[in-house]
Amino acid sequence: MTGTREISYREAIREALREAMNRDERVFLMGEDVGAYGGAYACSKGLLEEFGPERIRDTPLSESGFTGAGIGAAINGMRPIVEIMTINFSLLALDQIVNTAAAIRHMSGGQVSVPVVVRMATGAGRQLAAQHSHSLEGWFAHVPGLNVVAPATAADARGMLWTALEHPDPVIIMEHATLYNDRGPVPAEGDTAVSLQGAVIRREGKDATIVTYSANVKKALAAAETLAGEGIEAEVIDLRSLRPIDDATIMASVAKTHRAVVVDEAWCTGSFAGEIVSRVAEQCFFDLDAPPIRVCSAEVPIPYPRHLEEAAIPQPETIAAAVREALRK
């Protein structure tokens, strides 16, 4: 990026929302507490005053109802942004997302397009306990017909929204709740829109490939810092998109480093990380010098006490340990 300014992930989203609303009158935001409350994570703070209650539309607690309504509005010419407060509550809207948004293009023989954007906050790390700490991104990435992205940086949070709104099909934007305060560079001027696709190498290295997404990108980078002090150069890949997956970037890296560590805050069993490992095994088997390693959450509903929650989810130390393990073999 030439010419940048530093803003928070939250500010990036707010700017992106404001820009989208100004650029296209079909765009509107709907969800619980997006208006008068200013957004559960303050992403839409101030927007109600700026754009009014029709376009910054507070909804009742009706995830299925308002997500379905967003889908219908998108089908009929609007460009809604449906904010489901967190991925934990998205389970109530899963039918509308999976059985309508994802499927209707195909079921209708290509007639119906659903240009809806669904944003949701995800993840653990704030002692919110089992029902408010899910990482179910993989469930959405599982479904053909959906596009799923997980911006890990302010620049991606800033730039993915407009591209998502232009997409004729559903795009789910996963925003890890621990990222909102993080500051990062965004373009100082000009077009901020970024592609929804393509993984990015956030740190180059030759000794091991760490593949991850969302809040684990910064944890992987912290692990890479530590490892560099030990003479181990880890390459960190930020997937950015969970559906579709950028195989090419992953495999080029693994072909170079011969070791793969996949970090995912989901539980290991049936995880999205398992999908990455499968692809690496299928496409890079003979490039590997060690079995791929997954660093995922422990098989336990996320517990409340801080020390237990920290032990349950991936940490820089456990990521670094996995890389060392991969190199030991």
Partner 1 sequence: MNEAPSAATGALSRENARAFLHQMLRIRRFEEKCAELYSAQKIRGFMHLYIGEEAVASGVMPELTDDDAVVATYREHGHALARGLPMNEVMAEMFGKAAGSSRGRGGSMHIFSMAHRFYGGNAIVAAGLPLAIGLALADRMRGQNRVTCCFFGEGAAAEGEFHETMNLAALWQLPVLFVCENNTYAMGTALARSESNPDILAHAQVFGIDAEAVDGMDVVAVNAATARAVEAIRAGNGPRFVEAKTYRFRAHSMFDPDLYRSKEEIEAWKQRGPVIHFKEAAAAAGVGEDDIAAIEAEIAAEIEAAVAFAEAAEWEPVEDLTRDVTTPADEATP
The footprint of partner 1 (CB under 8 A) covers: 26, 28, 54, 59-60, 62, 64-78, 95-96, 99-100, 104-113, 144-147, 163, 166-169, 196-197, 244
Q: How far is the CB of 252 from partner 1 (least distance, A)?
A: 19
Residue closer to partner 1 (CB basis): 145 or 274: 145
Residue 146 vs 323, nearer CB to partner 1:
146
Closest to partner 1 by CB, 210 or 245: 245
| Identity at 226, one-letter amino acid code | T
d(CA 94, CA 191): 33
Pick the catalytic residue: 132, 134, 176, 258?
Answer: 132
Q: How far is the CB of 35 from partner 1 (least distance, A)?
A: 14
Q: How far is the CB of 90 from partner 1 (least distance, A)?
A: 14
132 is catalytic: yes
**Of the candidates 300, 298, 289, 277, the residue with the CA atom closest to the CA atom of residue 325:** 289
Closer to partner 1 by CB, 39 or 70: give it.
Answer: 70
Closest by CA position to 32, among listed 76, 79, 70: 70
63 is known as an active-site residue: yes
> Which CB, 168 or 270, lies closer to partner 1?
168
Which residue in the list 32, 63, 83, 235 is annotated as catalytic? 63
Closest distance to partner 1 from the beta carbon of 51 (Å) = 12
**Amino acid letter, residue 264:** D
The b/e string for 189-223 (b: 16+ C-beta within 10 A; e otherwise) is eeebbbebeebbebbebebbbbbbbbbbbbbbbbb
Pairing state between β 200-203 and 56-58: unpaired
Taking the complex as a whole, the smallest distance from the CB of residue 103 to partner 1 amounts, in Å, to 9
Catalytic residues: 63, 132
